[in-house]
Amino acid sequence: MGRLMRRRSTTTTDDAAPAPAPAPAEPETAAERRCCRLRDAALSRNVRVRFLFDEIAKLGCDVGSPFGFVRCASVERSGPLGDKMVGGFAVNDGSQKRYAPGVVVVAEHAPDKAVFERTLVHELVHAYDQCRAKVDWKSGAHHACAEIRASSLSGECDLSQEINRGVFGLMAHHGKCVKRRAALSLALAGRAEPEATVDAVFDRCYADTAPFERHPDFAGLRPSESYKVT
């Protein structure tokens, strides 16, 4: 994965929480075993998930076995804020000998195929961006761009998901959702002025659908050099 730094970036049950700690490889609870079954199915059958892994590999980043890269952990084994987490992408700056980059899914909070797969795609977009752009997570612009793209491309801002959250409105709902969730992620990471940071890079990052030629949920968007800060 190149030079990676540990960060906190998440998909959450209530739009709030940092990434969990890495999970042990072997599932111990019923929830973890169910989560591993969902993981195995997604890695084997989900077209978007498999496509993202293929594109990461094409960039020259070796994540090893996908089944090791994507791990399941119970709330109790997901760190102090695991009760609010669905998933997180954890990265490494090279100084932590026992800490490997990867995706962690909190087993109790991914109860079904749809939730699990949206979460996994979100985190894999982060993994792709880390490989492609060598994202500087200390940069507010880079961090915002990563969250904009992951929220946009994962399916978490589909109209049905917004309705489930009690957010209604047909006009430009997708973009508004992406802005809201990206800004919240920045706020949780302690960023000052998260809304303004998201607004500053939103257009180019929202339009960047790489590695998809067009947005996987609707047509009309094309990739751009979203991490090239001018």
Domain region containing 76: 10-206
Give the residue numbers marked as catalytic.
123
Question: In this structure, is residue 222 part of a structural domain?
Answer: no
How does DSSP classify residue 12?
Answer: E
For the chain, the domain total comes to 1
Tell me the per-residue pLDDT of 114-152, one tens digit each, with 9 for 90 and over: 999 999 999 999 999 999 988 888 899 999 999 999 999
Task: Say if strands 85-90 and 10-12 run parallel, antiparallel, or are unpaired.
Answer: antiparallel
User: The whole model's pTM is what?
Assistant: 0.79
Tell me the per-residue pLDDT of 69-97, one tens digit each, with 9 for 90 and over: 999 999 888 765 567 678 888 876 555 55
Q: How far apart are CA 163 and CA 201, in angstroms?
A: 26
Question: In this structure, is residue 221 part of a structural domain?
Answer: no
Question: In this structure, is residue 215 part of a structural domain?
Answer: no
Tell me the per-residue pLDDT of 171-203, one tens digit each, with 9 for 90 and over: 578 889 999 989 988 887 889 999 999 999 999
3-state helix, strand, coil in the chain (%, to 5): 50, 10, 45
- Which helix (H) or strand (E) segment holds residue 181: the answer is helix 173-188
Mean pLDDT of the 208-221 span: 76
Does 157 or 94 have the greater pLDDT score?
157
Q: How far apart are CA 26 and CA 23, in angstroms?
A: 9
Q: Is residue 31 classed as helix, strand or coil in its secondary structure?
A: helix
Q: How far apart are CA 55 and CA 46, in angstroms?
A: 14
